[in-house]
Amino acid sequence: MTQQKVKRVRDLVDGVLLLDKPVGLSSNDALIKAKRILNAKKAGHTGTLDPFATGLLPLCFGEATKFSQDLLEADKTYVTTVHLGVRTDTGDTEGQVLETLPVQVTVEQIEAVLARFRGPIAQVPPMYSALKRDGKPLYEYARAGVVLEREARNVTIHKLELLGYEAPFLRLEVTCSKGTYIRVLGEDIGAALGCGAHLNALRRIGVGALRAEQMITAEQLVAHPAPLELLAPVDALLRSFPKVDLTPELARRFLQGQRLPLGKEPEVVTPAPYEGRVRVYQGTRLLGTGVLGEWAILAPERLIAAAQS
C-alpha cells in the first residue's frame, strides 16, 4: 500500500524581503528558498539578477506582489567592476574569452568616454539574455552558436561615475532606467576605449527607493529564529509615492471602488498640485494605491485585500 504524500499548507504572508543575493544563485532559486523558509503561499521577485551578480533582490510576498511591477519599472543602481582588454562571449566573467587586447588608457580618456554614455543612449540587447524570439530565450540560440539580429533599445543612464581605476580594472557606479544591460554598457565602454571589456563583478545597491543598507543576507534568513520579523511592510515598495490619509468614512468608500473628490474634504490633506499615483492610508493602515487627478479626485487603483475585510 502506497503512502499518500501530505500537501504542505502554506501561510498567508505579506511583506517584502530585501535579500542580498549571493553570487552563483539564480533569482528564481533565491525566491524558492525564501518562500520555503517563510512558508509563504504567494511570492514573486521584482526583476532578475544574473547568477554572477550580487546585491539587492526585493522578494515580494502575499499582498506585496500586487506592487512588484512598480519595481520592475523603477530605476536601478549598481556598482560594477569592468575588466578592460578582455572580451568574452557573454560579456561577463562567466563567458569564454574571445579576444585579449593591450590596455593603454588614461583616467582622462576614461572620463571622456564615460561622458558619452550619460543620458539617453541606445543599447543592443545581448544574445546571452532572457529576451525571447519565437518563444525561445536568446541565450538558447547563443548556446547553439546562432546569432540573431536584435534591434537597439532606448535606455537612460542617469548616473555614471568613475569610482576608481587600477589597470585593467575600472570601477563604476551606475544608475539607469529599466531595461538597461550593465554587461552591454561595460562592453560598449571597452569598445569606445579601443581595448574591449567584460564585467568582472556586478552588485546592485538600489531599486527605486530601496537601498542596500536594508538588505538581509541568505545566512541571516536561514539562521533567524523568527524569519517573518525580517520582512519589511508592503508599503516599503511605495515610499516614493506621496501619501494620502483618509477618514474612516472615505476609506470605506475608497475600498468599495468609489472615486473621491478630496478637494471638497477639508479633513484630508492632499499633495496639491500633484497629480499621479499615491499611497492611500486610513491612519496607519495601508489601503492600497490610487491615482490623484484634476480637482484632487482620487481614483482607487490597487487595493489591499486585508484592508477590505
Q: Which residues have a catalytic role annotated?
A: 50
Tell me which residue of 44, 66, 70 sits closest to 57, measured CA to CA: 44
- Residue 235, SS3? helix
State how far the Cα of 162 lies from the Cα of 100, in Å rounded to an integer: 23
Q: Which residues pair with 79 in a beta bridge?
A: 173, 203
| Nearest partner of 121 among 71, 169, 177, judged by Cα | 177
CA 286 to mean position of chain CA atoms: 22
Pairwise CA distance, residues 188 & 196, whole Å: 8
- Cell numbers at 63, concatenated: 499582498
**Cα–Cα dist 175/156, whole Å:** 9
